[in-house]
Structure 1
Amino acid sequence: MNIQEYTGDTARAVAFLSRIPVPPSFFESYDGKLTRISRTFPLAGLLIALPAAIVFGILLAFHADPLMAALLALAVQTMTTGALHEDGLSDMADGLGGGKDRDRALAIMKDSRIGTYGAVALILSFGLRAAALAAIARGLAPFAAALVLPASAALSRGAMVWHWYILPAAKPDGIAASAGKPDYGAMQGALTIALALSAFLLWPCLRLPAFILYLLITAAAAFLLTRRVRQRLSGHTGDTIGATQQICEIAALCTLAMCV
């Protein structure tokens, strides 16, 4: 692996997945494609989640209420990402919930306005993640509890790449299609890094059976969502890729909350 090349790809992935400023030098001669860059999404996700993890850990160290600390950490994370994945979740929920057929669902997802299904999806996303983080904080030391944020961020972004790879583009002229598609090597690399980062971050606080359950439930969430998207839309969109991150992060955090 070319370390310099991988570092550059990670920087570009951070810029794509968040609002963290990245030096312009990383974009010299860059063609805008995400085909190769997607392999670094799990590492980029870890880096993006660090500010929220730091806030979460500090608040818990000062004996803040776990639910308050969880909500503030999620607020920091949302500001860091610019609510990129939450937007995908709400759009997909509106499309799949309100669209009677494929074309109508895609038209709804393209509409920037939020509907009932999208609003409910966002409420459940923040509510479930906050409740799970609060439960984790009650069961672990502050530092260990803070590590679950970058761990779940890395794993859920690996799942994004798998969803993106396994499905064709629902719209040939869509944003997801124009950005390119991960090849097998990029997908495999993303999943390997996601697994390695999750294992490294969670080994101090999670036994092997619990870690395996954490992986299985997150994988099941990605698989079931992908199957549903295939049935309804016949392919992925930028919104379904973002929604995959959200669904898998919820699954990962809820599983950890039950295991600690």
Structure 2
Amino acid sequence: MELRDYFADILRSIAFLSRFSVPARVFAGHDGSLSQTVRAFPAAGVLILVPSALSLLLLMELGADPMLAAIVALAIQTVTTGALHEDGLADSADGLFGGRDRDHALEIMKDSRIGSYGTVALILGFGLRAAAIAAIAHDLPPTSVALALLAIGSLSRMMMVWHWSSLPSARAKGVAANAGMPEKPAFRMAILVGTTLFAILLWPVTSIATMALVLGLASLAAAGFTAHVSGKLGGHTGDTIGATQQICEAVALAALATSI
């Protein structure tokens, strides 16, 4: 693997996972597939979360209430990602819990309108993450909280690749199907980079035992959600990949908040 190619995949990942603009030259000669690009998702997750982490750091240094700082940080994160993963969470909740069967669930998930299950999922998702970040900010210094956000940003995007690799595509056509399945070397690289970045960024923040707990609970959340999706849909969609990120981020933040 050439380092230059990996950096190009980071930029492609940022373009796919956020609203940030990247140089057009990184897409020159690229076929649009994400089969190899996914190896850079964890590294891109750290970079995408930098504005959110910096806003949290600044507000805390200025003496803002932890809950206010947490909500602003989440708002900035949502804007920078274009609510990409939140949309996946809402659509997945509507389809998985509102669909009578596989085909009905997939039909619901294609509908741009949001239903009751999706609304509740978004409220609970934002509420849980905000409360967890505020709790972490209450117990840790500003720099440590910012590092924790970056660490979990990497971890949750690593889990997206795990979910994506674990199931076939539920649709013959769609965002995930058109993007292709992650290649085995890309999957292994995503796991290696995601775990390494998570450990490096969280090392100054907490103990090894807490890091293991956060990683373990996030992994269980991803595995449980993947099993549910497999039973309901028989495969992944772009929405379930995004929902995986949201679920793992919320679980990881809650685990950290209750263990520090």
Alignment TM-score, normalising by the size of structure 1: 0.99
1:186: how far off? Answer: 1.1
Q: Quote the residue 1:33 is aligned against.
A: 33
Matching residue's letter, 1:57? L
Q: Deviations over 1:28-82 (max 9, x none)?
A: 1111000000000000010000000000001011110000000000000000000
Using the alignment, how far apart are the partners of 1:190 and 1:184 within structure 2?
10
Alignment match, 1:120: 120
Q: 1:175: how far off?
A: 1.8
Alignment of 1:77-88 (within 5 A): 77-88=77-88
How much identity, in percent, do the aligned residues show?
Answer: 54
- One-letter amino acid matched to 1:164: W
Q: Secondary structure at the match of 1:162?
A: helix
Alpha-carbon contact 2:147-2:205 (below 8 Å) kept = no
Q: How does 1:46-65 map to 2 (within 5 A)?
A: 46-65=46-65
* Residues 172-183 of structure 1: pairs in structure 2 closer than 5 A: 172-183=172-183
Q: Which residue of 2 aligns with 1:70?
A: 70
Matches of 2:230 and 2:82, distance apart in 1: 27
Q: Which runs of 4+ in 1 moved over 3 A?
A: none
What RMSD over aligned residues (CA atoms) do the two structures have, in Å? 0.6
Instruction: Give the counterpart letter for 1:137 in structure 2.
Output: A
What amino acid does structure 2 have at the position aligned with 1:96? L
Mapping for residues 225-244 of structure 1, pairs under 5 Å: 225-244=225-244
Whole-Å separation in 1 of the counterparts to 2:145 and 2:257: 10
Q: Aligned partners of 1:28, 1:187: CA distance in 2, in Å?
A: 23
- Find the aligned partners of 1:103 and 1:138 in 2 and give their Cα distance: 46
Match of 1:24 in 2: 24
Shift of 1:15: 0.3
User: Are 1:14 and 2:21 an aligned pair?
Assistant: no
CA distance in 1, matches of 2:12, 2:3: 14
Matched, 1:89 2:89: yes
- 1:215-254 alignment to 2 at 5 Å? 215-254=215-254
Separation of aligned partners in 1, 2:37 and 2:20: 17
Task: Indicate conservation of the 8 Å contact 2:148/2:205, yes or no.
Answer: no
The alpha carbon displacement at 1:183 in A equals 1.6
1:182-221 superposed Cα distances (whole Å, 9 cap, x missing partner): 0221111111111100101111121111111011000000
Cα distance in structure 2, aligned partners of 1:154 and 1:47: 9
Q: Determine the C-alpha separation between the residues in 1 that align with 2:11 and 2:214.
A: 28
In structure 2, how many angstroms separate the alpha carbons of the residues matched to 1:206 and 1:142? 14
**Superposed displacement of residue 239, structure 1:** 0.2
**Amino acid of the structure 2 residue aligned with 1:226:** T
Report the alpha carbon displacement of residue 149 of structure 1 after superposing the two structures with TM. Answer: 1.1
Q: Distance in 1 between matches of 2:225 and 2:130?
A: 22
Structure 1, unaligned runs of 5 or more: none
Number of residue pairs the alignment of both structures matches: 260
The 5 Å alignment of 1:125-140 reads 125-140=125-140
The answer to whether the Cα contact below 8 Å between 2:33 and 2:179 also exists between their aligned partners in 1 is: yes
Structure 1 residue 146 and structure 2 residue 185: aligned?
no
Superposed displacement of residue 174, structure 1 = 2.0
